Structure 1
Amino acid sequence: MDNIIVYASMTGTTELIARSIAEELARSGWHVTVKDAIDTFAEELLSYDCILIGSYTWGDGELADDIMCFHEELLAVPLSGKLAAAFGAGDSSYEQFGRAVNILEETLENQGCQVITPGLKVDGGSEEEIKAISYSFAKKIKRINEAI
């Protein structure tokens, strides 16, 4: 199964989540491509079976500028039959904690993906804690994928 992880990261937290998920999936022999959203065209997703997209939440619940162009392109790409999940970093002191994850999930569903698990929203923590949370999310994705 070919998998892609696309992310937008400002402080490095969402990139850490993306790379940690990829690391855990690769341990099981999964082929995983990790790309920054700025360097990715949405049509590239057509070549993958499982799509994971991550973004930090900007302001009071908006997508990050770093992923806006990719997201706009994504609205024109039909992804029926693809498996998907979303993740991202946020700040729980905001009313719309991690809303970018919700926006990405909704977009993936609207484009025909089967969102296989609720999105991962990370609210800070040490690098080790973030890695552990990300590894757990990846293991969940593996279990669900194997059950489908």
Structure 2
Amino acid sequence: MSKILLLYASATGNTELMAKAMANHLRNNNNHDVVVKMFDYDEIEVKELENYDGILFGVYTWVGGDLPFEVEDFYDQLDGVNIKRKPFAVFGSADSFYDEFGTALDLMYERFEKLGAVMVPEKLVVDLEPSQEDIKKSEQLSEKLLRLISGSELDVK
């Protein structure tokens, strides 16, 4: 049984819907220990990333393509944490009305990768509210993270 951190930021509830679907899927179908934390409500220390077998990280893209305010300090503090070879997956919502669609996911993905994390290759970005198909893709993303944790895909960048 893997210990997974599902950490996310959600302003409108769209990224939260994805996070809840992943947490339920992992708990119900795979019986994994999933700790869910939301930036707005929970105390989050970057060092705690080291205590998990894998991390699902959800973030929405703010106006102008930026990270949400509540994620900025976390982003800056990542230099002080050892996540080398730690499996990560990135997901979130964005609004295709803006030119910078999903760029916050790109920023977090690149940051984790630069620090040595083993990334699920694709980022899952949905346009506004997730559809049933997007929820299914969210569950599939969590399965891909499990494969990285188990070592079956550790060659993935």
Amino acid at match of 2:71: I
The one of 90, 110, 118 aligned to 1:86? 90
Aligned to 2:101: 97
Match of 2:31 in 1: 29
The reply on whether 1:2 has 2:3 as its aligned counterpart is yes
1:16 partner letter: L
Contact persistence 1:57–1:98 (CA under 8 A): yes
**What's the counterpart of residue 137 of structure 1?**
141
Where do 1:1-148 residues align within 5 Å? 1-26=2-27, 27-38=29-40, 39-125=43-129, 128-146=132-150, 147-148=152-153
TM-score by length of 1: 0.89
| Equivalent pair of 2:90/2:109 in contact (CA under 8 Å) | yes
- Do 1:9 and 1:66's aligned partners in 2 also have CA atoms closer than 8 Å? no
CA distance in 2, matches of 1:78, 1:143: 21
Number of residue-to-residue matches in the alignment: 148
For 2:110, the aligned partner's letter is: E
In 1, Cα distance between the equivalents of 2:116 and 2:141? 22
Instruction: Give the drift of 1:80.
Output: 1.0
Residue 90 of structure 1 contacts residue 124 of structure 1 at CA under 8 Å; is this kept in 2? yes
CA deviation profile, 1:57-86 (whole Å, cap 9, x unmatched): 001211001211222222321211211111
TM-score (norm. length: structure 2): 0.84
Structure 1 residue 129 displacement after superposition? 4.6
Instruction: For residue 31 of structure 1, report the CA deviation from its aligned partner.
Output: 1.2
CA contact (8 A) 1:8 1:54 kept: yes
Equivalent-residue separation in structure 2 for 1:59 and 1:141 (angstroms)? 29
> Where do 5+ consecutive residues of structure 1 fail to align?
none
RMSD: 1.8
Return 5+ residue gaps in structure 2 as ranges: none
Query: Amino acid of the residue matched to residue 18 of structure 2?
Result: I
